[in-house]
């Protein structure tokens, strides 16, 4: 019951929307699609659902040609970014709709729906219209509707995107627990948020300009981004990328900083590179360690961390510090560079070495 | 059955019915315009472009066209201004707004040909209401059906009475869906009410206004019923529009071939003119900047 | 630039006498001149109402509003001289970008050359100089929002700059960038700024002081640090910080509190009788995983681990209650069995009936 | 503009709307004397009302009976509107949701083709329609008139409904398809219930334009299915007295005026918003 894409592509006129996607999706696992807006995540989902026509390659489900089936025979479910439910149907009617369509009796459908609606915490709202619910509740209805039947493929297109911050935090965990119950479905979940991908995904697919540019276990992708592009997508706050050079057994960052070459970079040929550092691994230097001097450009408080953007002669550095700290814009700071945590990329952006875990 | 089947299922019944009803008249008109079918000779012979040549030099036809241009543009403009004012009042909220709205819609629901009968009785020179009121006010009476300008005036009044509600309704619907934020923002930016209207509201309404104006130009150009009943194109041919002219040629005098020529000409001229007007209006209302 | 004062201001939309149903319960409040305030809370908490009361879009049903010493309760919008940036980009779409920015000035009868100089200056600052001649309607969403913002900033004599969730429609990828731009523009201008958002992240980034609201009431105001370190209610503790604060049921002991069997020292003094029921609160950031069972260390059972990217969140069970601890990515922690958790006394707060003692 | 001026204008316009109708209404109750005296406006004060005019048109006095004509109008209007709204609605939904194409013509060209029908004045089509219906043996039948009217009404529906459907998020019918509805079921189960305002407004306009048609009835029907406007205009052409004509006028516009009072709330609300976007 797996979904197999071979060299799948979609183009509309001259515009290439999806290109060369080959991947085997297995049921019972959660696949997270990550990428910037318009990287092709939504297009891929719509193609799988049959809402966009495949113009190249093959799409098979359970070995059979999936592309030949019209949307309504594919048995897929979708949860949209906007809160989409049937506005003229109550919560209960919304959730029973797919079951009734597949010919289940009203009594049985309602019984099944009751259980699931209770599970998503809307037991008290059975007779409400979706328009009278809050955004979070509407999205819970949508997921209940998607989960109610054993869909072949379950598609979730940034379902938490338009929700309040706190609610997002809460629903993220609820959704993960709900989705793991869909053992028979291929589950595909699109998001732009790294933390969501790490929390929810069994497999992570990074999309960029219509292609899948890396895939693997979420933590593996996070630890070994194969390019600067991927590193930027999976790191929030962004990874600081600085020009680097290896020569004479030294790692040079920018023009000024010369560091002893760290263990994981031993044996790398001399040459010009790019060095990436995670914001959480950079620290503000209090003494005379190996530092880059810079000026605070912006301070943001994120959740319970502080992000400090520092302008240095070498480039912009983003530091994430636990807790809430009051640095002032314009303040001079030293940033200590953790050379042992260097992600080394070649000048064209491909990963050379990651620091490992 | 795939998506293509359903795609066709939705569009084709309506489209085909329309084509079926409309295709014969169109093709027939084209063919018959090249014949000499009239009251004494029926049948589809072939006389080439002689009807077309006659049409080009038919001064009466072209002057009825000019008359129509005058009529359509002027009544549409007046309807637009009045309709906009009425819509603005309701939109801004007046006391008894619901009552006014209801009453103002009534003319839209009346039948033009029948209202023309009523208007005719109002403009009867001896016992009609119009002259009656003038007399009560101590003014001299007017020869509504015998003098050119008053006769034209009666047609214009009937048209404006009938269709201003349409403009009102259309523009009110447009005002009601305007986003509120730009108007609030303008107030916050310190703009006076008249400035808000001319700089914000009116330009925002441009697409809706253009739609409404085009619809009214199309519909009012077809005017026939009220002229037929109210003035019979008189006095002389002072209120004769192309549709009346057409009617006279083809249905009263039974010049079928020539009538078809005129009909096709009317259609072509209208499409060209409306396209030009639409383009000009859209150009005038274009957003500034590149 | 002025002080904005709420004197017993309340807002009910339906003339109800029951204050509990009001969108904004009667409140006395001062926004000091030249400071930046963040108004946060979930949708429907009354924050937008408060903003609209200041700008005059709504007239308060109760109480009075003052700008410095002037009562403006009944002043029309035009007279208040405030600037407001709405949730969705609000541009005059039929005008050019230049005319959009110039509009507030021409309304105030500025001379042509003055307008030109000022508009060009502002455009330069927000980085839209190159699109001044462009039709405002053809801009991208984020550019449009910059124009809205520019219109808010073009007058430098405004009483206050009000921003209502100005980043809602902005794509995640532009959000940070736009946030930085706004920060830079308003920095050092001495404008009174009130920024409304449901996103604590944004609020804390922007504001000198945060006002947390819920159901039409002000719950707590303070600097980001204060709200993080000393939330006065469980509500604030949960709302600020990601994940929210841990709250555990405990009893008052001879000294400090007793959690299960374990006596714990807490930071705030308790004057309640021994045995009274309280709750202790601690931030996941301050819960330390330890192997040595010293004072203030509790024994917990490992439940699960969530990968958040830069950090991991470990969930443990204490008795029948859950507690979360934030662990740096690099730190190795047990994956099963019992775990020692150090709850530093300095960071341990006590709550009763939802409020801090 | 000052408040007074505004209310003067509103009052003036409201009076202007009222005058012709009240004139027709009062005249319909006048006696020959009252009419021939010159203009009078107020019943009982200026003249003594009678119902003679009304007896003339309702078949009581034996002069004329407009009731069969009203039945004709109702039948023709009802079916022409029904066909137009259903077929036009389907077509509009298709045009809103799918892409059609033939060579380099696309959806907008098809919509233009529909709307262009409105440019044609009835007089242009009268003779071909006459010959067509004659050939099909449909002259002076309800069906013939209904078909002809439909060609004029369907464009109105397409024009109003395409934009209306465009405003309903397409995710809703997509979702229905994902959940096992074919496009037709998706339309029927999810979009149709949401389209009531759009359908209402289209129906209203179909009824107005259908009821008001004079020309086709004049040319394509003779005795059996003569509609109300045609019958009244025919009365107008004879020596029918003033009060009788007025009664017939009021009689024929009354149904639609009643109609507007019922449907006014649809006219004012959302239904129209689709068309003006």
Q: What's the rounded Cα separation, in Å, for the pair A17 and A39?
A: 9
CB atoms within 10 A of CB B240: 22
Neighbouring C-alpha atoms within 13 Å toward the C-beta of D7 = 5
Q: Are strands A211-216 and A64-65 parallel, antiparallel or unpaired?
A: unpaired
Closest CA of chain B from D92, distance in Å:
7
- Closest to C78 (Cβ–Cβ): which among B190, B203, B206? B190
Q: How many H-runs (helices) and E-runs (strands) does chain D carry?
A: 14, 0
Please give the radius of gyration of chain B, using alpha carbons only, rounded to the nearest integer: 24
DSSP letters, C314-353, are EEEEETTEEEEEEEETT----SSSEEEEE--GGG-EEEET
Ranges of each domain in chain C: 4-95+152-239, 246-356
Both D215 and D267 in a single domain? yes
Whether residues C201 and A164 touch (CB distance < 8 A) is answered with no
pLDDT on residue C333? 82
Contacting residues of D for B228, CB less than 8 Å apart: 214, 233
Mean pLDDT of C150-172: 82
CATH number at residue D272: 1.10.3720.10
Cβ-count burial D63-98 (b if 16+ within 10 Å, e if not): bbebeebbebbeebbebbbebbbebbbbbbbbbbbb
Chains D and C are in contact, defined as 3 or more C-beta pairs closer than 8 angstroms: no
Q: Is residue C244 a contact partner of residue A166, using CB atoms and an 8 Å limit? A: yes
| Residue D259 lies inside a defined structural domain of this protein | yes
Q: How many residues appear in chain D?
A: 277
In chain D, the percentage of residues whose pLDDT exceeds 70 is 94
B24, B128, B129: best to mutate for the D interface, most D CBs within 10 A: B129
| CA dist C20 → C17, C63, C213 (Å) | 9, 16, 15
Instruction: Give dist(CA D159, CA C279) in Å, integer.
Output: 65
Task: Quickly count: other Cβ atoms within 10 Å of residue C177's Cβ.
Answer: 12
Query: Which ranges of C127-208 does DSSP label H, i.e. alpha helix?
Result: 141-153, 172-186, 200-206
Question: By residue range, what is the domain housing residue D239?
Answer: 67-276
- Return d(Cα B30, Cα B257) in angstroms, integer: 9
Among candidates C57, C103, C135 on the partner chain, residue whose Cβ is nearest the Cβ of B288: C135
Distance from CA of D204 to the nearest CA of A (A): 23
Residue C304: phi and psi, rounded to 5, are -160, 170
Q: Tell me: the pLDDT tens digits for C15-63?
A: 777 777 888 888 999 999 888 899 988 877 888 889 999 999 888 888 9
pLDDT score at B25: 86
Question: Strand order of the sheet with strand C257-259?
Answer: C262-264, C257-259, C246-252, C277-282, C349-352, C355-356
* DSSP annotation string for D68-88: HHHHHHHHHHHHHHHHHHHHH
For residues D22 and D71, membership in a common domain is answered with no
In a domain, D79, yes or no: yes
Contact B237, B60 (CB under 8 A): yes
What is the average pLDDT across C1-21?
A: 82
Domain boundaries A240-353, CATH class? mainly beta
Least Cα distance to C349 among C255, C253, C282 occurs for C282
Among all residues of chain D, which has the CA nearest to that of B106? D257
Q: Per-residue confidence at C176, pLDDT binned at 50, 70, 90?
A: confident
Residue spans of the domains in chain A: they are 3-228, 240-353
D156 assigned to some structural domain: yes
Report the residue from D132, D211, D268 with minimal CB separation from B24.
D132
Strands A343-345 and A351-353: antiparallel
Contact D182 A70 (CB under 8 A): yes
Q: Is residue D55 included in any domain, yes or no?
A: no
Residues of B in contact with A71 (CB under 8 A): 3
Residues D259 and D133 in one domain: yes
Residue of A nearest to C187 (CA): A329
Q: Which pLDDT score, from 0 to 100, does residue D277 have?
A: 42
Task: Give percent of chain A with pLDDT exceeding 70.
Answer: 98
Q: Give the phi and the psi of residue A8 in degrees, each rounded to 5.
A: -70, 140
Which residues does C195 contact at the CB level (< 8 Å), separation at least 6?
Answer: C36, C37, C38, C39, C163, C166, C202, C203, C206, C207
- C interface mutation test: which of A167, A304, A330 has the most C CBs within 10 A? A304
Give the CATH class of C246-356. Answer: mainly beta
Domains of chain B listed by start with CATH number: 60-284 (1.10.3720.10)
**Pairs across B and C, CB distance < 8 A:** 81
Same domain, D236 and D188: yes
Taking the Cβ of residue C84 and every Cβ of chain B, the question of whether any pair is shorter than 8 Å is answered with yes
- Which residues in chain B have Cβ-Cβ distances shorter than 8 Å to C97? 289
D160 lies within 8 A of chain B by CB: no
Instruction: Find which of A97, A109, A151 to mutate to test the D interface (most D CBs within 10 Å of its CB).
Output: A97
Low-confidence ranges of chain B (pLDDT < 70): 1
Q: Do B170 and D13 touch (CB under 8 A)?
A: no
Q: Contact B150/B144 with Cβ under 8 angstroms?
A: yes
Spell C55-88 as b/e; 16+ CB within 10 A means b: bbbbebbebebbbeeeebeeeebbebbbbbbbbb
Question: Which residues have C-beta within 8 Å of that of residue A47, sequence separation ≥ 6?
Answer: A8, A10, A18, A53, A54, A59
CB pair distance less than 8 Å for B132 and D40: yes
Residue A329: what are its φ and ψ, rounded to 5°? -65, 135
On whether both D184 and D136 belong to a single domain, the answer is yes
pLDDT digits (tens, 9 = 90+) for D154-211: 999 998 898 889 888 888 989 999 998 999 999 998 899 888 888 888 888 899 999 9
Element at B200 (helix H, strand E): none
Q: Does B183 touch chain C (CB under 8 A)?
A: no
Listed as own residue / partner, the contacts of A120-123 with beta carbons closer than 8 Å and 24 or more positions apart are A120/A144, A120/A174, A120/A178, A122/A91
Mean pLDDT of chain A: 88
- DSSP-assigned letter for residue A130: G
**In 3D, which of C183, D123, C94 has the Cα closest to residue B221?**
D123
Residues D195 and D246 in one domain: yes
Report how far residue C313's alpha carbon sits from residue A169's, in angstroms, rounded to the nearest whole number. 13
Decide if D20 is inside a domain.
yes
The CATH topology of domain A3-228 is Rossmann fold (3.40.50)
Q: Are residues D12 and D89 in the same domain?
A: no
**D149 lies in some domain:** yes
How much is the mean pLDDT over chain C? 86
User: Both D189 and D112 in a single domain?
Assistant: yes
- Beta bridge pairs of residue A191: A34
The Cα A53–Cα A79 span in angstroms is 20
Chain A closest CA to C188's CA: distance in Å?
A: 10
Task: Look at residue D23 and tell me if it is in a domain.
Answer: yes
Predicted pLDDT of residue D245 = 86
D94/B94 CB distance under 8 A: no
pLDDT value of residue D271 = 45
Calpha distance B249→B228 (Å, rounded): 14
Say if C55 is an interface residue toward chain B (CB within 8 Å).
Answer: yes
**Amino acid D275: pLDDT:** 45
Contact C287, C246 (CB under 8 A): yes
On whether the CB atoms of residues D227 and D69 are closer than 8 A, the answer is yes
Query: How far apart are the C-alpha atoms of B146 and D76, rounded to whole Å?
Result: 38
Query: Is there a contact between A101 and D177 if contact means CB atoms under 8 Å apart?
Result: no
Q: How confident is the model at residue A357 (pLDDT cuts 50, 70, 90)?
A: low
Q: What is the mean pLDDT of residues A43-71?
A: 91
Q: Which of D169, D172, D177 sits opposite A71 (nearest CB)?
A: D177
Angstroms from A66 CA to nearest CA on chain B: 13
pLDDT of A5? 94
| Closest CA–CA distance from residue D185 to any residue of chain B (Å) | 10
Q: What is the mean pLDDT of residues A98-102?
A: 89
Mutate which of C310, C315, C324, C335 to test chain A, going by most A C-beta atoms within 10 A?
C310
Q: How far is D148 from chain B (nearest CA, A)?
A: 7
pLDDT at D268: 55
Chain D environment of B6 (Cβ under 8 Å): 182-184
**Chain A residues in contact with B3 (beta carbon < 8 A):** 70-71
Q: Chains near A, with 3+ CB pairs < 8 A?
A: B, C, D
Say if CB D13 and CB B85 are below 8 A apart: no
B193 shares contact with chain C (CB less than 8 Å): no
Cβ <8 Å between B192 and C94: no
Which one of A161, A165, A196, A296 would you mutate to disrupt binding with C, by most C Cβ within 10 Å of its Cβ? A165
Give the tens place of pLDDT for each residue, A242-281.
Answer: 999 998 888 888 887 888 888 888 888 899 999 999 988 8
Helix or strand or coil: residue A30? strand
Displacement of CA B152 from its chain's centroid (Å): 15
Question: Scanning every residue of chain A, which has its alpha carbon at the shortest distance from the alpha carbon of D174?
Answer: A51
> What does the pLDDT look like over D9-52, one tens digit per residue?
999 999 999 889 888 888 888 877 777 776 777 777 777 788 87
Query: In this predicted model, what pLDDT tens digit does every residue of D59-84 receive, in sequence order?
Result: 787 778 888 999 999 999 999 999 99
D135 and D196: one domain? yes
- A299 closest CA partner among C186, C242, C205: C205
Q: Distance (Å, rounded) from C-alpha C189 to C-alpha A327?
A: 19
What letters, b where the CB count within 10 A reaches 16 and e where it falls short, cover C296-323? bbbebebeeebbbbbbbbbbbebeebeb
**Distance between B6 CA and the closest CA of chain A, angstroms:** 11
Distance from CA of A147 to the nearest CA of D (A): 11
- Asked whether the beta carbons of C240 and C212 are under 8 A apart, the reply is yes
Residue B49: half-sphere exposure toward Cβ, Cα within 13 Å:
5
Across the interface, whether the CB atoms of C138 and B199 are under 8 A apart is answered no
For C4-95+152-239, CATH number? 3.40.50.300
Out of D172, D174, D181, whose CB is closest to A101? Answer: D181
**pLDDT tens sequence across C290-316:** 888 888 899 899 998 888 777 888 999
**Would you call B2 and A71 a contact, using CB atoms and an 8 Å cutoff?**
no
Per-residue confidence (pLDDT) for residue D274, from 0 to 100:
46
- In angstroms, the separation between the Cα of residue A293 and the nearest Cα of chain C is 21
Distances (CA, A) of D225 to A128, B111, D160: 50, 18, 29
Number of domains in chain D: 2
- Predicted confidence (pLDDT) at residue C173 exceeds the cutoff of 50: yes
Specify whether D133 is located in the same domain as D31.
no
For residues A21 and A4, give the distance between their C-alpha atoms in angstroms, rounded to a whole number. Answer: 10
Residue C1 binned pLDDT confidence (cut-offs 50, 70, 90): low
Does residue D57 lie within any of the structural domains?
Answer: no
Q: Does A70 touch chain B (CB under 8 A)?
A: yes
Q: Would you state the pLDDT for residue D75?
A: 94
Q: Comparing B184 with D2, which gets the higher pLDDT?
A: B184
Are the beta carbons of C172 and A193 separated by less than 8 Å? yes
- The answer to whether the Cβ–Cβ distance between B187 and C93 falls below 8 Å is no
Q: Quick check: D208 and B271 CB within 8 A?
A: no
Q: Is the pLDDT of residue A316 over 80?
A: yes
Distance CA D249, CA D256 (A): 12
C-alpha span between A234 and A231 (Å, rounded): 5
């Amino acid at each position: 019951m797996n979904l197999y894409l071979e060299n799948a592509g979609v183009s509309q006129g001259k515009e290439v929307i999806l290109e060369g996607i080959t991947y085997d999706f297995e049921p019972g696992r959660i696949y997270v699609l990550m990428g910037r807006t318009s990287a092709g995540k939504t297009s891929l989902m719509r193609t799988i659902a049959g809402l966009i026509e495949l113009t190249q390659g093959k799409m098979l489900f359970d070995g059979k040609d999936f592309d030949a089936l019209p949307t309504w025979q594919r048995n897929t479910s979708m949860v949209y970014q906007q809160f989409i439910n049937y506005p003229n149907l109550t919560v209960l009617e919304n959730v029973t709709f797919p079951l009734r369509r597949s010919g289940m009796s009203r009594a049985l459908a309602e019984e099944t729906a009751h259980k699931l609606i209770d599970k998503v915490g809307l037991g008290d709202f059975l007779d409400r219209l979706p328009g009278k619910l809050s955004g979070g509740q509407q999205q819970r209805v949508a997921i209940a509707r998607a989960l109610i039947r054993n869909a072949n493929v379950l598609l979730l297109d940034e379902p938490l995107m338009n929700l309040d911050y706190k609610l997002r935090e809460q629903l993220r965990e609820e959704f993960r627990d709900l989705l793991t119950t869909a053992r028979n479905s291929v589950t595909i979940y699109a998001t732009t948020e790294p933390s969501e991908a790490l929390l929810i995904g069994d497999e992570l697919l990074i999309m960029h300009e219509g292609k899948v540019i890396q895939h693997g276990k979420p933590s593996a992708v996070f630890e070994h981004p194969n390019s600067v592009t991927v590193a930027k997508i999976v790191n929030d706050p962004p990874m600081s990328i600085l020009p680097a050079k290896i020569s004479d057994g030294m790692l040079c960052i920018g023009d000024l900083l010369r560091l002893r070459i760290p263990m994981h970079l031993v044996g790398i040929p001399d040459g010009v590179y790019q060095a990436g550092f995670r914001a959480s691994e950079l620290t503000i230097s209090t003494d005379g360690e190996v530092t880059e001097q810079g000026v605070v450009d912006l301070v943001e408080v994120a959740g319970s961390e502080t992000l400090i953007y520092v302008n240095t002669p070498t480039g912009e550095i983003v530091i994430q510090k636990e807790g809430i700290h009051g640095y002032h814009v314009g303040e001079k700071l030293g940033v200590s560079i953790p050379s042992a945590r260097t992600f080394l990329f070649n000048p064209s952006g491909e990963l050379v070495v990651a620091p490992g875990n | 059955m795939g998506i293509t089947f359903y795609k066709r299922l939705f569009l084709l019944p309506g489209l085909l019915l329309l084509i079926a009803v409309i295709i014969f008249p169109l093709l027939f008109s084209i063919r018959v315009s090249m014949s000499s079918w009239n009251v004494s000779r029926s049948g589809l012979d072939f006389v080439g472009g002689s009807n077309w040549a006659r049409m080009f030099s038919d001064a009466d036809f072209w002057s009825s066209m000019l008359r129509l241009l005058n009529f359509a543009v002027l009544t549409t403009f007046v309807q637009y201004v009045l309709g906009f004012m009425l819509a603005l009042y309701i939109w801004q909220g007046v006391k008894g707004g619901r009552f006014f709205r209801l009453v103002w819609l009534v003319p839209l629901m009346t039948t033009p040909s029948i209202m023309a009968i009523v208007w005719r009785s109002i403009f009867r020179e001896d016992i009609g209401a119009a002259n009656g009121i003038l007399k009560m006010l101590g003014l001299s009476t007017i020869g509504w059906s015998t003098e050119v300008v008053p006769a034209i005036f009666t047609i214009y009044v009937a048209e404006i009475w009938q269709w201003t509600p349409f403009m009102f309704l259309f523009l009110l619907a447009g005002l009601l869906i305007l986003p509120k934020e730009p108007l609030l923002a303008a107030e916050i930016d310190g703009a006076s009410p008249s400035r808000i209207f001319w700089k914000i509201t009116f330009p925002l309404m441009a697409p809706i206004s253009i739609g409404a104006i085009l619809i009214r130009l199309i519909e009012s150009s077809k005017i026939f019923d009220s002229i037929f009943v109210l003035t019979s194109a008189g006095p002389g041919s002072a209120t004769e529009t192309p549709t009346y002219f057409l009617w006279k040629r083809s249905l009263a005098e039974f010049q079928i071939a020539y009538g078809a020529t005129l009909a096709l000409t009317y259609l072509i001229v209208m499409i060209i003119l409306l396209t030009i007007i639409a383009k000009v209006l859209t150009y005038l209302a274009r957003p500034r900047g590149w | 630039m002025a002080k904005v004062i709420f004197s017993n201001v309340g807002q009910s939309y339906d003339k109800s006498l029951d204050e509990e149903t009001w969108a904004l319960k009667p409140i006395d409040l001062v926004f000091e001149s030249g400071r930046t305030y963040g108004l946060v809370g979930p949708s429907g908490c009354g924050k937008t109402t408060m903003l609209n009361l200041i700008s005059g879009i709504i007239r308060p049903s109760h109480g009075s509003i003052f700008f410095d010493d002037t009562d403006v309760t009944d002043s029309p919008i035009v007279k208040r001289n405030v600037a407001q940036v709405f949730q969705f980009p609000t541009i005059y779409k039929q005008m050019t970008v230049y005319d959009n920015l110039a509009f507030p000035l021409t309304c105030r009868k500025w001379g042509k050359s003055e307008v030109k100089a000022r508009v060009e200056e502002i455009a330069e600052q927000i980085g839209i100089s190159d699109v001044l001649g462009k039709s405002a309607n053809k801009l991208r969403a984020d550019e449009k929002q910059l124009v809205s913002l520019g219109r808010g900033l073009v007058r430098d004599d405004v009483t206050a700059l009000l921003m209502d969730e100005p980043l809602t429609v902005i794509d995640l990828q532009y959000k940070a960038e736009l946030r930085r731009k706004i920060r830079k523009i308003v920095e050092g201008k001495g404008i009174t700024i009130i920024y409304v958002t449901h996103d604590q992240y944004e609020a804390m980034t922007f504001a000198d002081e945060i006002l947390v609201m819920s159901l039409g009431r002000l719950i707590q105001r303070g600097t980001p640090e204060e709200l993080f370190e000393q939330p006065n209610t469980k509500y604030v503790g949960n709302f600020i910080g990601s994940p929210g604060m841990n709250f555990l049921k405990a009893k008052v002991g001879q000294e400090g509190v007793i959690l299960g069997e374990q006596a714990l020292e807490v930071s705030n003094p308790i004057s309640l009788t021994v045995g009274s029921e309280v709750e202790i609160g601690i931030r996941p950031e301050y819960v330390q995983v330890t192997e040595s069972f010293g004072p203030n260390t509790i024994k917990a059972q490992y439940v699960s681990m969530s990968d958040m990217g830069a950090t991991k969140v470990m969930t443990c069970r204490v008795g029948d209650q859950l507690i979360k601890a934030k662990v740096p990515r690099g730190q190795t922690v047990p994956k099963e069995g019992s775990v020692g958790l150090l709850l530093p006394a300095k960071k341990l707060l006590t709550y009763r009936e939802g409020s801090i003692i | 503009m000052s408040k007074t001026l505004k209310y003067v204008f509103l009052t003036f316009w409201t009076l202007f709307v009222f005058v012709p109708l009240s004139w027709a209404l009062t005249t319909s109750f006048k006696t020959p004397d009252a009419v021939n005296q010159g203009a009078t406006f107020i019943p009982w004060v200026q003249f003594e009302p009678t119902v003679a005019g009304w007896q003339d048109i309702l078949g009581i006095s034996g002069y004329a009976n407009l009731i069969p004509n009203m039945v004709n109008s109702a039948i023709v209007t009802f079916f022409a509107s029904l066909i137009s709204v259903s077929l036009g609605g389907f077509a509009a939904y298709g045009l809103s949701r799918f892409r059609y194409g033939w060579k380099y013509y696309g959806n907008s060209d098809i919509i233009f083709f529909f709307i262009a029908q409105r440019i044609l004045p009835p007089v242009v089509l009268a003779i071909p329609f006459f010959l067509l219906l004659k050939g099909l043996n449909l002259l002076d039948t309800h069906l013939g008139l209904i078909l002809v009217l439909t060609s004029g009404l369907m464009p109105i529906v397409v024009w109003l409904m395409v934009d209306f459907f465009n405003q309903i998020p397409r995710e809703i019918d997509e979702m229905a398809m994902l959940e096992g509805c074919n496009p037709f079921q998706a339309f029927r189960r999810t979009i149709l219930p949401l389209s009531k305002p759009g359908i209402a407004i289209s129906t209203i306009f179909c009824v107005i334009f259908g009821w008001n048609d004079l020309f086709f009835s004049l040319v394509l029907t003779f005795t059996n299915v003569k509609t109300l406007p045609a019958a009244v205009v025919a009365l107008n052409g004879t020596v029918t007295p003033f009060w009788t004509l007025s009664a017939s006028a009021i009689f024929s516009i009354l149904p639609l005026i009643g109609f507007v009072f019922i449907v006014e709330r649809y006219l004012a609300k959302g239904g129209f918003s689709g068309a003006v976007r």
